A and B are shown apart, each in its own frame.
Chain A
Amino acid sequence: MRGRDQEFAEFFSARFEGARRIAYAMCGSWPDAEEIAQSAFVKLYARWTKIRIETVDAYLRTVLTRVFLDTKRRGRAREQVMADLPDTIAPADAGPGERLALRTALLAVPPGQRAVLVLRYVADLSVDQVAETLGCSTGTVKSQTARGLASLRAAYHKGEVSLEMRGA
Protein backbone atom coordinates (compact mmCIF):
# COMPACT_ATOMS: atom_id res chain seq x y z
CA MET A 1 0.00 0.00 0.00
CA ARG A 2 1.39 3.41 -0.92
CA GLY A 3 1.93 6.22 1.59
CA ARG A 4 -1.16 8.13 0.64
CA ASP A 5 -3.31 5.03 0.90
CA GLN A 6 -1.75 4.05 4.21
CA GLU A 7 -2.52 7.46 5.65
CA PHE A 8 -6.05 7.35 4.32
CA ALA A 9 -6.59 3.82 5.61
CA GLU A 10 -5.61 4.90 9.12
CA PHE A 11 -7.99 7.82 8.98
CA PHE A 12 -10.74 5.53 7.66
CA SER A 13 -10.22 3.09 10.52
CA ALA A 14 -10.44 5.86 13.08
CA ARG A 15 -13.43 7.71 11.65
CA PHE A 16 -15.69 5.43 9.61
CA GLU A 17 -17.78 4.17 12.51
CA GLY A 18 -18.40 7.71 13.80
CA ALA A 19 -19.35 8.88 10.33
CA ARG A 20 -21.72 5.93 9.91
CA ARG A 21 -23.43 6.79 13.21
CA ILE A 22 -23.89 10.42 12.21
CA ALA A 23 -25.32 9.29 8.87
CA TYR A 24 -27.65 6.91 10.69
CA ALA A 25 -28.89 9.69 12.94
CA MET A 26 -29.66 11.70 9.81
CA CYS A 27 -31.31 9.03 7.69
CA GLY A 28 -32.63 6.46 10.22
CA SER A 29 -31.55 3.43 8.19
CA TRP A 30 -28.38 1.42 8.66
CA PRO A 31 -28.15 0.34 4.99
CA ASP A 32 -28.54 3.96 3.85
CA ALA A 33 -26.10 5.13 6.52
CA GLU A 34 -23.54 2.60 5.30
CA GLU A 35 -23.97 3.85 1.74
CA ILE A 36 -23.80 7.53 2.73
CA ALA A 37 -20.68 7.03 4.85
CA GLN A 38 -18.97 4.97 2.16
CA SER A 39 -19.75 7.55 -0.54
CA ALA A 40 -18.43 10.32 1.70
CA PHE A 41 -15.14 8.47 2.23
CA VAL A 42 -14.82 7.81 -1.52
CA LYS A 43 -15.15 11.54 -2.19
CA LEU A 44 -12.74 12.26 0.62
CA TYR A 45 -10.18 9.88 -0.90
CA ALA A 46 -10.41 11.64 -4.26
CA ARG A 47 -9.46 14.93 -2.57
CA TRP A 48 -7.11 13.45 0.01
CA THR A 49 -3.91 15.07 -1.19
CA LYS A 50 -5.60 18.46 -1.43
CA ILE A 51 -6.98 18.59 2.08
CA ARG A 52 -4.96 19.91 4.97
CA ILE A 53 -4.88 17.26 7.65
CA GLU A 54 -6.08 19.64 10.37
CA THR A 55 -9.25 20.33 8.39
CA VAL A 56 -9.97 16.79 7.28
CA ASP A 57 -12.58 16.12 9.98
CA ALA A 58 -14.49 19.25 9.01
CA TYR A 59 -14.27 18.28 5.35
CA LEU A 60 -15.58 14.79 6.08
CA ARG A 61 -18.55 16.21 7.99
CA THR A 62 -19.34 18.54 5.10
CA VAL A 63 -19.19 15.79 2.50
CA LEU A 64 -21.20 13.40 4.67
CA THR A 65 -23.96 15.96 5.20
CA ARG A 66 -23.97 16.89 1.53
CA VAL A 67 -24.28 13.26 0.45
CA PHE A 68 -27.21 12.82 2.87
CA LEU A 69 -28.98 15.97 1.63
CA ASP A 70 -28.32 15.05 -2.01
CA THR A 71 -29.83 11.63 -1.39
CA LYS A 72 -32.93 13.22 0.10
CA ARG A 73 -33.13 15.80 -2.66
CA ARG A 74 -32.79 13.39 -5.50
CA GLY A 75 -35.17 10.89 -4.00
CA ARG A 76 -33.48 8.04 -5.84
CA ALA A 77 -35.82 6.55 -8.41
CA ARG A 78 -33.50 3.59 -8.31
CA GLU A 79 -31.65 2.16 -5.35
CA GLN A 80 -28.02 2.60 -6.35
CA VAL A 81 -26.41 0.90 -3.40
CA MET A 82 -22.65 0.70 -3.58
CA ALA A 83 -22.11 -0.69 -0.11
CA ASP A 84 -22.91 -4.20 1.03
CA LEU A 85 -25.83 -4.03 3.39
CA PRO A 86 -25.19 -4.49 7.09
CA ASP A 87 -27.43 -6.71 9.17
CA THR A 88 -30.61 -4.89 10.09
CA ILE A 89 -31.57 -4.46 13.70
CA ALA A 90 -35.31 -4.49 14.19
CA PRO A 91 -36.65 -1.24 15.70
CA ALA A 92 -38.24 -3.16 18.60
CA ASP A 93 -34.77 -4.24 19.71
CA ALA A 94 -33.22 -0.84 19.19
CA GLY A 95 -33.47 0.24 22.79
CA PRO A 96 -35.86 1.73 25.30
CA GLY A 97 -39.23 2.94 24.05
CA GLU A 98 -38.35 6.56 24.65
CA ARG A 99 -35.32 6.32 22.38
CA LEU A 100 -37.42 4.72 19.69
CA ALA A 101 -39.99 7.51 20.02
CA LEU A 102 -37.20 10.05 19.78
CA ARG A 103 -35.74 8.37 16.71
CA THR A 104 -39.19 8.30 15.05
CA ALA A 105 -39.79 11.97 15.89
CA LEU A 106 -36.37 12.97 14.54
CA LEU A 107 -37.13 11.29 11.22
CA ALA A 108 -40.28 13.43 10.95
CA VAL A 109 -38.17 16.62 10.98
CA PRO A 110 -37.44 17.96 7.45
CA PRO A 111 -34.01 16.78 6.20
CA GLY A 112 -32.26 20.15 6.27
CA GLN A 113 -33.33 20.92 9.83
CA ARG A 114 -32.62 17.32 10.81
CA ALA A 115 -29.06 17.62 9.54
CA VAL A 116 -28.59 20.74 11.67
CA LEU A 117 -29.99 19.03 14.78
CA VAL A 118 -27.82 15.95 14.29
CA LEU A 119 -24.64 17.98 13.76
CA ARG A 120 -25.45 20.31 16.66
CA TYR A 121 -26.61 17.78 19.27
CA VAL A 122 -25.73 14.23 18.22
CA ALA A 123 -22.28 15.13 16.86
CA ASP A 124 -22.06 17.85 19.54
CA LEU A 125 -20.67 20.60 17.30
CA SER A 126 -20.73 24.31 18.06
CA VAL A 127 -22.91 26.70 16.07
CA ASP A 128 -19.79 27.93 14.26
CA GLN A 129 -18.73 24.39 13.34
CA VAL A 130 -22.21 23.56 12.02
CA ALA A 131 -22.20 26.77 9.96
CA GLU A 132 -18.81 25.83 8.53
CA THR A 133 -20.02 22.31 7.75
CA LEU A 134 -23.13 23.49 5.94
CA GLY A 135 -21.56 26.54 4.30
CA CYS A 136 -24.10 28.93 5.79
CA SER A 137 -24.17 31.71 8.40
CA THR A 138 -24.39 31.13 12.14
CA GLY A 139 -27.72 32.97 12.03
CA THR A 140 -29.07 30.36 9.63
CA VAL A 141 -27.86 27.58 11.90
CA LYS A 142 -29.61 29.17 14.87
CA SER A 143 -32.89 29.65 13.02
CA GLN A 144 -32.74 26.15 11.53
CA THR A 145 -32.03 24.75 14.99
CA ALA A 146 -35.01 26.56 16.49
CA ARG A 147 -37.31 25.37 13.71
CA GLY A 148 -35.91 21.87 13.89
CA LEU A 149 -36.47 21.67 17.64
CA ALA A 150 -40.04 22.92 17.18
CA SER A 151 -40.66 20.23 14.55
CA LEU A 152 -39.05 17.61 16.76
CA ARG A 153 -41.12 18.66 19.76
CA ALA A 154 -44.33 18.53 17.74
CA ALA A 155 -43.51 15.14 16.24
CA TYR A 156 -42.47 13.74 19.60
CA HIS A 157 -45.69 14.82 21.35
CA LYS A 158 -47.74 13.54 18.42
CA GLY A 159 -46.06 10.16 18.88
CA GLU A 160 -46.80 10.17 22.61
CA VAL A 161 -50.49 10.91 21.98
CA SER A 162 -50.58 8.19 19.36
CA LEU A 163 -49.15 5.66 21.81
CA GLU A 164 -51.63 6.73 24.50
CA MET A 165 -54.55 6.26 22.12
CA ARG A 166 -53.33 2.74 21.46
CA GLY A 167 -53.30 2.12 25.19
CA ALA A 168 -49.52 1.89 25.38
Chain B
Amino acid sequence: MFDDDTTARNALQTLNDEPAPPPTTTVEQVLRRGRRRVLAQRVSAVAGVVAVVAAIGVTAVLVRQGGTGDGGVRVAEPTTAPPAPAGPLPGWRTIEIDEATCKQNPLINVPGTAPDALLPQAVVEPAFVDAVVAVTGPGASATTAQWEGYSPKADGPRGYVVTEIPMSDGNGQLQLEAYVYGGTPTAKADASLYAYGDCKAPARHTLPDGTVLQLFQRDNFDPEQPMQHLQIFRPDGHEYIVTSAGWSEADMVPVPGSTAYTIEGGRRDLPTDDAQLAEIATTLVANLG
Protein backbone atom coordinates (compact mmCIF):
# COMPACT_ATOMS: atom_id res chain seq x y z
CA MET B 1 0.00 0.00 0.00
CA PHE B 2 1.13 3.60 -0.72
CA ASP B 3 3.83 2.29 -3.06
CA ASP B 4 3.22 4.92 -5.73
CA ASP B 5 1.36 8.16 -6.34
CA THR B 6 -1.78 6.48 -7.61
CA THR B 7 -2.30 4.06 -4.72
CA ALA B 8 -1.41 6.75 -2.19
CA ARG B 9 -3.85 9.18 -3.78
CA ASN B 10 -6.63 6.59 -4.01
CA ALA B 11 -6.19 5.62 -0.37
CA LEU B 12 -5.87 9.13 1.06
CA GLN B 13 -8.71 10.54 -1.03
CA THR B 14 -11.08 8.26 0.93
CA LEU B 15 -10.51 10.59 3.87
CA ASN B 16 -12.55 13.18 1.99
CA ASP B 17 -15.56 10.88 2.38
CA GLU B 18 -15.53 11.08 6.16
CA PRO B 19 -18.69 12.59 7.61
CA ALA B 20 -18.07 16.06 9.06
CA PRO B 21 -19.89 17.94 11.80
CA PRO B 22 -21.53 21.14 10.56
CA PRO B 23 -19.16 24.14 10.64
CA THR B 24 -19.77 26.68 13.39
CA THR B 25 -17.70 29.51 11.91
CA THR B 26 -19.76 32.25 10.31
CA VAL B 27 -18.56 34.85 7.88
CA GLU B 28 -19.57 37.53 10.39
CA GLN B 29 -17.15 36.06 12.94
CA VAL B 30 -14.33 36.04 10.43
CA LEU B 31 -15.09 39.60 9.28
CA ARG B 32 -15.12 40.80 12.89
CA ARG B 33 -11.74 39.21 13.68
CA GLY B 34 -10.35 40.26 10.32
CA ARG B 35 -11.29 43.92 10.87
CA ARG B 36 -9.64 43.84 14.30
CA ARG B 37 -6.49 42.48 12.69
CA VAL B 38 -6.51 45.15 9.99
CA LEU B 39 -7.01 47.84 12.62
CA ALA B 40 -4.11 46.51 14.70
CA GLN B 41 -1.87 46.52 11.62
CA ARG B 42 -2.84 50.11 10.83
CA VAL B 43 -2.27 51.28 14.40
CA SER B 44 1.12 49.62 14.37
CA ALA B 45 2.05 51.18 11.02
CA VAL B 46 0.89 54.65 12.10
CA ALA B 47 2.82 54.36 15.38
CA GLY B 48 5.94 53.49 13.41
CA VAL B 49 5.54 56.49 11.12
CA VAL B 50 4.88 58.82 14.08
CA ALA B 51 7.99 57.51 15.84
CA VAL B 52 10.17 58.06 12.77
CA VAL B 53 8.78 61.57 12.16
CA ALA B 54 9.27 62.45 15.85
CA ALA B 55 12.82 61.14 15.81
CA ILE B 56 13.64 63.16 12.68
CA GLY B 57 12.08 66.29 14.19
CA VAL B 58 13.89 65.96 17.50
CA THR B 59 17.19 65.24 15.76
CA ALA B 60 16.77 68.31 13.52
CA VAL B 61 16.04 70.53 16.52
CA LEU B 62 18.99 69.15 18.49
CA VAL B 63 21.39 69.55 15.58
CA ARG B 64 20.18 73.15 15.07
CA GLN B 65 20.55 73.92 18.79
CA GLY B 66 23.97 72.28 18.82
CA GLY B 67 25.33 74.39 15.94
CA THR B 68 28.59 76.23 16.79
CA GLY B 69 29.45 79.82 16.01
CA ASP B 70 31.89 78.90 13.28
CA GLY B 71 29.23 77.07 11.29
CA GLY B 72 30.37 73.61 12.36
CA VAL B 73 27.97 71.04 13.75
CA ARG B 74 28.52 69.20 16.98
CA VAL B 75 26.48 66.28 18.21
CA ALA B 76 23.94 67.35 20.79
CA GLU B 77 23.51 65.48 24.05
CA PRO B 78 20.54 63.16 23.43
CA THR B 79 18.89 63.99 26.72
CA THR B 80 15.42 64.66 25.34
CA ALA B 81 15.40 62.26 22.39
CA PRO B 82 13.08 59.26 22.57
CA PRO B 83 14.86 56.03 23.45
CA ALA B 84 16.33 54.22 20.47
CA PRO B 85 15.17 50.67 19.78
CA ALA B 86 17.14 48.31 21.97
CA GLY B 87 19.97 46.45 20.24
CA PRO B 88 21.01 42.93 21.14
CA LEU B 89 21.95 42.25 24.75
CA PRO B 90 25.68 42.21 25.60
CA GLY B 91 27.17 38.94 24.39
CA TRP B 92 24.25 38.28 22.04
CA ARG B 93 24.34 38.68 18.28
CA THR B 94 21.51 39.51 15.93
CA ILE B 95 20.67 36.83 13.37
CA GLU B 96 19.57 38.51 10.16
CA ILE B 97 16.70 36.77 8.43
CA ASP B 98 15.12 37.23 5.05
CA GLU B 99 11.60 38.49 5.62
CA ALA B 100 10.25 37.05 2.37
CA THR B 101 11.61 33.60 3.25
CA CYS B 102 10.22 33.95 6.75
CA LYS B 103 6.75 34.73 5.44
CA GLN B 104 6.92 31.56 3.34
CA ASN B 105 7.70 29.65 6.57
CA PRO B 106 9.69 26.94 4.76
CA LEU B 107 9.99 23.40 6.08
CA ILE B 108 13.51 22.78 7.36
CA ASN B 109 14.50 19.30 8.44
CA VAL B 110 17.26 18.74 10.97
CA PRO B 111 18.66 15.20 10.74
CA GLY B 112 19.44 13.50 14.02
CA THR B 113 18.02 11.31 16.75
CA ALA B 114 16.09 12.88 19.59
CA PRO B 115 16.16 11.55 23.16
CA ASP B 116 13.26 9.25 24.04
CA ALA B 117 12.02 11.27 26.99
CA LEU B 118 12.04 14.66 28.68
CA LEU B 119 13.96 15.27 31.86
CA PRO B 120 11.60 14.48 34.80
CA GLN B 121 9.00 17.08 35.73
CA ALA B 122 10.36 16.93 39.30
CA VAL B 123 13.66 18.28 37.96
CA VAL B 124 12.51 20.80 35.37
CA GLU B 125 9.54 22.43 37.13
CA PRO B 126 11.43 23.59 40.28
CA ALA B 127 14.42 24.62 38.15
CA PHE B 128 12.14 26.89 36.10
CA VAL B 129 10.11 28.27 39.01
CA ASP B 130 13.31 29.03 40.94
CA ALA B 131 14.71 30.83 37.90
CA VAL B 132 11.54 32.90 37.52
CA VAL B 133 11.49 33.82 41.22
CA ALA B 134 15.20 34.70 41.15
CA VAL B 135 14.65 37.18 38.32
CA THR B 136 11.14 38.57 38.88
CA GLY B 137 10.84 38.34 42.67
CA PRO B 138 8.97 36.25 45.21
CA GLY B 139 5.50 37.13 43.84
CA ALA B 140 5.81 34.54 41.07
CA SER B 141 3.91 31.29 41.52
CA ALA B 142 3.39 28.12 39.47
CA THR B 143 -0.25 27.61 38.47
CA THR B 144 -0.24 24.73 36.01
CA ALA B 145 2.19 22.01 34.99
CA GLN B 146 1.85 18.85 32.96
CA TRP B 147 4.24 16.24 31.52
CA GLU B 148 3.16 13.93 28.69
CA GLY B 149 5.18 10.95 27.42
CA TYR B 150 3.57 11.45 24.04
CA SER B 151 1.72 14.54 22.90
CA PRO B 152 -0.01 14.46 19.51
CA LYS B 153 0.49 18.22 19.36
CA ALA B 154 4.26 17.76 19.50
CA ASP B 155 4.52 14.32 17.89
CA GLY B 156 6.68 13.41 20.86
CA PRO B 157 7.02 14.07 24.58
CA ARG B 158 5.97 17.47 25.82
CA GLY B 159 5.82 19.22 29.16
CA TYR B 160 4.81 22.67 30.29
CA VAL B 161 4.85 24.85 33.39
CA VAL B 162 2.92 28.11 33.73
CA THR B 163 3.80 30.75 36.33
CA GLU B 164 1.89 33.93 37.13
CA ILE B 165 3.79 37.20 37.60
CA PRO B 166 2.24 40.28 39.27
CA MET B 167 2.06 43.34 36.99
CA SER B 168 0.65 46.80 37.61
CA ASP B 169 -2.89 46.05 36.39
CA GLY B 170 -3.12 42.30 36.87
CA ASN B 171 -0.92 39.28 36.29
CA GLY B 172 1.22 38.25 33.35
CA GLN B 173 2.69 34.82 32.76
CA LEU B 174 6.01 33.13 32.21
CA GLN B 175 5.49 29.77 30.54
CA LEU B 176 7.92 26.95 29.92
CA GLU B 177 7.50 24.26 27.28
CA ALA B 178 9.81 21.23 27.16
CA TYR B 179 10.48 19.13 24.05
CA VAL B 180 13.19 16.88 22.62
CA TYR B 181 14.96 17.28 19.27
CA GLY B 182 17.58 15.65 17.05
CA GLY B 183 20.62 17.37 15.54
CA THR B 184 22.94 20.03 16.90
CA PRO B 185 21.78 23.06 18.91
CA THR B 186 22.91 25.45 16.18
CA ALA B 187 21.24 23.48 13.37
CA LYS B 188 18.02 23.31 15.35
CA ALA B 189 18.20 27.04 16.15
CA ASP B 190 18.75 27.78 12.45
CA ALA B 191 15.74 25.63 11.55
CA SER B 192 13.63 27.53 14.11
CA LEU B 193 14.48 31.06 12.98
CA TYR B 194 10.99 31.71 11.65
CA ALA B 195 9.00 30.20 14.51
CA TYR B 196 8.19 33.45 16.33
CA GLY B 197 8.82 37.18 16.33
CA ASP B 198 6.72 38.36 13.38
CA CYS B 199 9.64 37.80 10.98
CA LYS B 200 11.91 40.23 12.82
CA ALA B 201 15.55 39.30 13.44
CA PRO B 202 16.09 37.23 16.61
CA ALA B 203 19.22 37.40 18.78
CA ARG B 204 21.37 34.42 19.68
CA HIS B 205 23.82 33.56 22.44
CA THR B 206 25.85 30.38 22.99
CA LEU B 207 26.68 29.29 26.53
CA PRO B 208 30.05 27.68 27.40
CA ASP B 209 28.45 24.20 27.55
CA GLY B 210 27.22 24.54 23.94
CA THR B 211 23.62 25.44 24.79
CA VAL B 212 22.18 27.85 22.21
CA LEU B 213 19.69 30.51 23.33
CA GLN B 214 17.53 32.24 20.72
CA LEU B 215 15.58 35.32 21.76
CA PHE B 216 12.77 36.51 19.48
CA GLN B 217 11.27 39.94 19.31
CA ARG B 218 7.82 40.52 20.67
CA ASP B 219 4.83 39.02 18.85
CA ASN B 220 2.17 41.70 18.54
CA PHE B 221 -0.57 39.76 16.81
CA ASP B 222 -2.94 41.22 19.38
CA PRO B 223 -1.55 44.39 21.03
CA GLU B 224 -3.61 43.69 24.13
CA GLN B 225 -1.96 40.30 24.57
CA PRO B 226 1.72 40.54 23.54
CA MET B 227 4.04 37.54 23.77
CA GLN B 228 7.80 37.02 23.54
CA HIS B 229 9.62 33.72 23.13
CA LEU B 230 13.09 32.46 23.96
CA GLN B 231 14.22 29.05 22.72
CA ILE B 232 16.84 26.99 24.53
CA PHE B 233 18.59 24.17 22.65
CA ARG B 234 20.78 22.03 24.89
CA PRO B 235 23.50 19.78 23.45
CA ASP B 236 21.81 16.69 24.94
CA GLY B 237 18.72 17.11 22.69
CA HIS B 238 16.46 18.84 25.20
CA GLU B 239 14.63 21.93 23.98
CA TYR B 240 12.85 24.50 26.11
CA ILE B 241 10.75 27.47 25.10
CA VAL B 242 10.28 30.24 27.64
CA THR B 243 7.35 32.50 26.82
CA SER B 244 6.61 35.84 28.43
CA ALA B 245 2.90 36.62 28.05
CA GLY B 246 0.85 39.72 28.77
CA TRP B 247 -2.19 37.95 30.18
CA SER B 248 -3.09 35.65 33.07
CA GLU B 249 -5.39 32.80 34.01
CA ALA B 250 -7.92 35.43 35.10
CA ASP B 251 -8.24 36.61 31.48
CA MET B 252 -9.10 33.14 30.19
CA VAL B 253 -12.79 32.47 29.61
CA PRO B 254 -13.89 28.83 29.23
CA VAL B 255 -15.57 27.79 26.00
CA PRO B 256 -18.88 26.13 26.98
CA GLY B 257 -18.85 22.37 26.49
CA SER B 258 -15.10 22.01 26.08
CA THR B 259 -11.83 22.21 27.95
CA ALA B 260 -10.70 25.11 25.77
CA TYR B 261 -10.47 28.79 26.69
CA THR B 262 -10.47 32.09 24.91
CA ILE B 263 -8.36 34.96 26.21
CA GLU B 264 -10.54 38.02 26.68
CA GLY B 265 -8.19 40.54 28.34
CA GLY B 266 -4.57 41.49 28.56
CA ARG B 267 -1.95 43.81 30.04
CA ARG B 268 -0.72 45.36 26.75
CA ASP B 269 2.77 44.81 28.13
CA LEU B 270 5.01 41.91 29.13
CA PRO B 271 6.05 40.94 32.66
CA THR B 272 9.71 40.85 31.57
CA ASP B 273 12.06 42.76 29.31
CA ASP B 274 14.70 41.19 27.04
CA ALA B 275 17.38 41.12 29.72
CA GLN B 276 15.09 39.49 32.30
CA LEU B 277 13.87 36.86 29.86
CA ALA B 278 17.48 36.06 28.94
CA GLU B 279 18.44 35.88 32.60
CA ILE B 280 15.60 33.47 33.33
CA ALA B 281 16.89 31.23 30.53
CA THR B 282 20.51 31.25 31.69
CA THR B 283 19.44 30.66 35.30
CA LEU B 284 17.22 27.76 34.19
CA VAL B 285 20.14 26.19 32.31
CA ALA B 286 22.38 26.62 35.35
CA ASN B 287 19.72 25.10 37.62
CA LEU B 288 19.31 22.10 35.30
CA GLY B 289 23.09 21.58 35.34
Q: Which residues of A contact B (CB under 8 A)?
A: 5, 8-9, 12-13, 16-17, 20-21, 24-25, 28, 30-31, 34, 37-38, 41-46, 48, 62, 66, 69-89, 93-95, 98-99, 102-103, 106-107, 110-112, 115-118, 120-122, 124, 134-136, 140, 144, 149, 152-153, 156
Contacts and interface: CB of A to CB of B under 8 A. Distances in A.
A43 B13 CA distance: 28
Contact of A84 (B20, B24, B35): B24
26 contacts: A8-B34, A21-B20, A41-B34, A45-B30, A45-B33, A45-B35, A66-B105, A69-B105, A72-B154, A73-B192, A73-B195, A74-B195, A74-B241, A78-B263, A80-B263, A81-B260, A85-B255, A102-B12, A102-B14, A102-B15, A103-B15, A106-B12, A122-B12, A140-B107, A153-B2, A156-B2
Contact of A86 (B17, B22, B109, B175): B22
Nearest to A69: B105
Contacts of B128: none
B37 interface: yes
Nearest to B10: A121
The listed residue with most B CB atoms (<10 A of its CB), out of A44, A94, A106, A135, is A135
Contact of A95 (B19, B27, B158, B241): B19
The listed residue with most A CB atoms (<10 A of its CB), out of B14, B41, B196, is B14
Residues of A contacting B: mostly: helix
Nearest to B252: A78
B20 A41 contact: no
B24 A86 contact: yes
Contacts of B154: 72, 75
B33 A42 contact: yes
Interface of B: 1-2, 5, 8-9, 11-25, 27, 29-31, 33-35, 37-38, 41, 101, 104-107, 109, 151-155, 158, 160, 162, 175, 177, 179, 192, 195-196, 241, 243, 252, 255, 257-263
Contacts, number: 188
Shortest Cβ-Cβ A-B pairs, 7 listed: A135-B104, A45-B34, A81-B260, A121-B12, A86-B21, A79-B260, A84-B24
